[in-house]
Chain A
């Protein structure tokens, strides 16, 4: 899901793209249910994201309260989560980054890419195998 022309501010940028602080989240009909996560400062920098539920995962409980505090999230309805995908021509090589989801306060439109400590959260989670289970 995404709103019309949804722009989110990332105070610290993203790991690897520290200078980029403003991103848009857009629905593209052909990419349903994935969205395009695109830098406003460098439009060529874009990634495919989706809510974890799209691959039958729920990550809400993994988000530390510290992070929610930093993002001033007071209730679950304000919290929006996305995970970044890495596509490949070989289906079994398509992966999702569960270790570092994008956490957004959808009211204030601020966000962070949060690195989680839990060892079961893989940074290169193999998506296709996951879906078939």
Chain B
């Protein structure tokens, strides 16, 4: 074998091992980088010449990934985000309702009925009427407050929905750009970047990802394409309002039909905003309206100490928890409260007792007023408990998948170090071979 050949071989070996050492160094440096896929140098024939400049080619590197696990991970990621987002928002709602607490509606409604009972024990006493009015005012404020807290929460959610839609659109266009660049030049780094973008996208909406052989990709949601190699669209969020509460409809590009988003944090926000909050508010409104109407109905049959009848206790035509209020006449003069079923008898408490009866009447679909309110509280509690449970379970599923993925793609320091030692030795060997060859050449030259 010619000396020069030995040189060539050695140089190749050096270069090869250098590349291997570089790769290992990169792997070690990226041990904690999220999304980094371990590079591995393919074995190629040491006697071959490789590419023109002697370096191993780009396409020799491949990203080791378990494609199946990656896709599963994505699907589960949008579920996890959905449950965690639901959990967070529902916790907000539970604290808006604020039970159990002395300032919660359950206790306040009870105090209202008890004030009427105290009045029934002492209908001649103006002070007892003042107490009834005061408790009613507290109750009205509580209804109003809960309603407006729901409104505020929904406004916040609307803001979040718009923010996330903007982010989705940003990501989509970045993916499209990456697709374009990948078309001409396929690198592991670009593919990793795109994967990171897709992972973030899957936390926001429940996407379907279809990959092609040439690293091409199509991403769709709700059956509509968002981005592909030669196509890029945008999500639009449109809000309509009903009694001050918003309903968000999302659509893609020029397609006017609503796109169904069922996962990711957007999926959770849309469901809570469009379905749950209006449902809770409607139940709250039902409680408020039933209470006000029934009290007014009985109260107007009664007589007050001035011998007047037909008086409303609460404002007329209350539509919900928002406008629930004590009638202005009662607010300005609580002695106007009616307690008697006929005129001229100060000790007549029949109407006051009849109003106490309301708490036991099955006014709303066979349920009492407090039953109905309690079932609202329970419903929120159940949905929160379910979201929490699902989020915890889902987190475990994600753990397992990530461990599986990392087993294939992740970096193990120990393994890399061992490889480094191996390459070092090979490098040393290769460089010694060159030294020997050098020495041989020198000797030869000296001889010559």
Are A and B in contact, CB atoms below 8 Å, in the complex? no
Q: Which residues of B contact A (CB under 8 A)?
A: none
Q: Which residues of A contact B (CB under 8 A)?
A: none
